[in-house]
Amino acid sequence: MRRQIQIRDRWKEQRLVTSRLLFTAILVVAMSGGLVWRLFHIQVSHHEVFAELAQGNRVRIEPLAPTRGLIFDRNGQLLAENLPAWELVAIPEEIVDLAASLQALEALELLDPAERGNLIDAINSHRRFERVVLANLTESQAARFSARRHRFSGIDIREGLIRHYPYGDLTGHSIGYMGSISAADMQRIDRANYAATALIGISGVERSYQDELHGTVGFRQQLVNAQGRVLVDPASIGASSDSMPGTLDTRWPIPGDNLVVSLDIQLQLAAQRAMEGLRGAVVAVEPATGDVLALVITPAFDPIRFAAGLSHSGYRELETDPDKPLFNRALAGRYPPGSTVKPFLGLAAMNLNALNPDDPTFCGGHYSLPGQTHQYRDWRREGHGLVDLHRAVVESCDVYFYRLAVNIGIDAIDSSLRTFGFGDRTGIDIGGEIRGVVPSRTWKRNNFSRREDQTWFPWETFISCLGQGYTTATPLQLAHATAALAAGARFRPRMAVALQTAVSGEVVAIDPVRLDSLPEIDPRHWQRIREAMIGVTEDPSGTGRLAMQQTPYRVAGKTGTAQVISLAQDEEYDEEALDERLLDHGLFIAFAPADNPTIAVAVVVENGGSGSGLPAQAARRILDAWLAAEDYG
């Protein structure tokens, strides 16, 4: 079989190769031309635009936190300061094994295991090569880490500042404390001004005056590479007053303003000692200004624990403590005011011409409404005999005030107490205050859903007139109302009295605010009530006489006892048979010196029994501390 041989067309193949080479050459020339045009576009036509973009990629702006302002008491005693501290910081990109590193730090007791989730969230949300604060360290913790620093890549310690409160738990509820910035805080603050700040005021003065205390953030411009590492550019050396390597420019932060508060820390200390071992609150106010001289809650908490970084377990321990050290009893504790309301209602009845203060009323130990057999008892079973307004206040006669309640009615009781600030917030310049309750027909309709529960009964008027039942007030509201009795005027309670500006050092006073809520009251009526309150502490039958005897100054006061449990009509109150936390609350209000008051005080002792006992004794020690330097000779 003959085999066919195919002869190749060499000329055709040569033309094909030549055409392909020509196409490739044209493509290379076109691409090179495009590249040249692009370089011309970048380097010549739009040089300034792209140079600026390149500079933006090379310059990092690092925020610099301002130094927080200091807080002083009215006499210049330091209440809140900033102390050098150690911060445990990390650059996550330089950590080889994050999980292992965190676990090792926990084993050294430098981190709380319960905080690991929050730390990981913080690390994940940081900018590249930005330092993340892991924890504040004590001196011993810093030393412990330093000895093992070589084991931790990307983790180090640096000097920082920590908030410190020299008086510890003495100012926990008034000055407050610092804590981490929450998501809610982020919605209200200027984020740019808090770029370098991890903590914010959580409560008390630290919270209310956060903006003034915080200051203004600064910044540092540094050269960095594409990975975020700081570069040292020889051209930048000497370009800034900042000694930090690679710094191009620095705007130093402006410190926060210093704050002067109304507290007298020595009076605060005296109040705390007077309440040692008790649960309750003390509020002392200057009648002529509304300045809060003392605000003490017992038991309390040490704000330094929060500033140093309180663990979840530590917070849980405070939160579940049955004595509730975190609870601000002075601003948020609702207590029946008991018989401390009697001077206010006696004044109101005189002002309404509903009684003649000199007319006697017989007290046989109980009172019944006309046509009814139910007896409303007096605290003194045998009664007080014939009593006028003066003696009714001095001996705290319940029957007298039952009759007064019938004469003026619940609506007058409601409006009269409200004029002195009961049933409302006082407006103090720190947060956490709640309203008290002054019940009335309207109040009951608004607070009970069932129609049968909305009816107002006569017996409810009686117990309201004794400061019991639905009626409640906070210790702050009691002190505020007592100050109004002392001054004949109401001033908004306040903590801040002056600011010292950081830049100039100028001290700017904050003026007190007078509240126009008291009606026109006959000066003779004021005097009658003040004399009756003086009788409480001076008359032989006065309920506060024992605690206030032999004072070098005169005290106008009133005792109060608030029932925690109700008793049946014929049931006796047996203090020894009751659980401690079911005992009556004791209250005492006072102002002194009675003829020229410079202080009004309210003391509430939970389950402390009669107001003539522990509360009055505590008030005596507080008044002595405030008036000890005065000359009454």
Q: CATH no. for residue 97?
A: 3.90.1310.10
CB 154 within 8 A of CB 93: yes
Per-residue CA distances from 617 to 2, 180, 356, 451, 591 (Å): 137, 41, 33, 45, 14
Residue 219, by phi and psi: left (phi above 0), alpha (psi -120 to 50) or beta?
A: beta
- 223-252: buried (b, 16+ CB within 10 Å) or exposed (e) per residue? bbeeeebbeeeeebeeebebeeebbbebee
Same domain, 178 and 316: no
**Selection from 592, 520, 513, 605 nearest residue 559 by Cα:** 605
Is residue 212 domain-shared with residue 306, that is, in the same domain? no
Residues 315 and 231 in one domain: no
- Is there a domain that residue 75 lies in? yes
**Residue whose C-alpha is closest to residue 162's, from 311, 306, 312:** 306
Half-sphere exposure of residue 381, counting CA atoms within 13 Å on the CB side?
A: 5
In a domain, 523, yes or no: yes
Within a domain: residue 134?
A: yes
628 DSSP assignment: T
Question: What is d(CA 249, CA 236) in angstroms, rounded to the nearest whole number?
Answer: 9
- Regarding whether 308 and 196 lie in a shared domain, the answer is no
Q: Which of 101, 174, 262, 339 is catalytic?
A: 339
Q: Tokens standing for 628? A: 């000890």
Residue-range definition of the domain harbouring residue 121:
61-216+227-235+247-258
| pLDDT the model gives residue 632 | 56
Regarding whether 534 and 393 lie in a shared domain, the answer is yes
Q: ∠ CA(156), CA(161), CA(167), 5° rounding? A: 135
Say yes or no: 173 and 78 in one domain: yes
- Could you tell me which residues come within 8 angstroms of residue 361 by beta carbon, excluding any fewer than 6 positions away? 386, 387, 388, 392, 399, 400, 403
Residue 77's contacts (CB-CB under 8 Å, 6 or more residues apart) are 265
| Distance in angstroms (rounded) separating the CA atoms of residues 162 and 85 | 6
* Of the candidates 410, 9, 428, 38, the residue with the CA atom closest to the CA atom of residue 203: 428
The whole-number pLDDT of residue 232 equals 66
Do both 200 and 330 map to the same domain? no
In whole angstroms, give the CA distance from residue 181 to residue 107: 27
Domain assignment of residue 87, yes or no: yes
DSSP state at residue 154: T
Contacts for 374 with CB less than 8 Å, ≥ 6 apart = 368, 459, 569
Do 178 and 288 sit in the same domain of this protein?
no
0.75 surpassed by pTM: yes
Helices (H), 283-397: 304-307, 312-319, 329-332, 342-351, 389-394
Give 372's DSSP letter: -
Residue 3 falls inside a structural domain: no
Q: Report the pLDDT value the prediction gives residue 159, as an integer from 0 to 100.
A: 82
The reply to whether 377 and 252 lie within a common domain is: no
As a whole number of angstroms, the distance between CA 119 and CA 112 comes to: 10
CB 241 within 8 A of CB 251: no
Task: Report the 10 Å Cβ neighbour count for 90.
Answer: 25
DSSP 552: S
Residue 520: both structure tokens together:
């026109």
Alpha-carbon span 586 to 559, nearest angstrom: 8
- CB count within 10 Å of CB 144 equals 14
Q: Choose among 108, 134, 107: nearest CA to 119.
A: 134
Total domain count, the chain? 2
Same domain, yes or no, for 323 and 211?
no
Active site residue 339: yes
What pLDDT, on the 0 to 100 scale, is given for residue 208?
97
The segments of the chain whose pLDDT lies below 70 read 1-57, 125-130, 226-229, 232-243, 565-579, 629-633
Query: Would strands 496-500 and 258-261 be described as parallel, antiparallel, or unpaired?
Result: antiparallel
Domain membership of residue 41 (yes or no) is no
135 and 192 share one domain: yes
Q: What is the CATH number of the domain that holds 485?
A: 3.40.710.10
Question: Are residues 475 and 397 part of one domain?
Answer: yes
In a domain, 367, yes or no: yes
pLDDT of residue 200: 92
Q: What separation in angstroms does the CA of 451 have from each of 410, 411, 458, 463, 470? A: 19, 20, 17, 22, 18
In a domain, 91, yes or no: yes
DSSP string, 276-292: TT--EEEEEE-TTT-BE
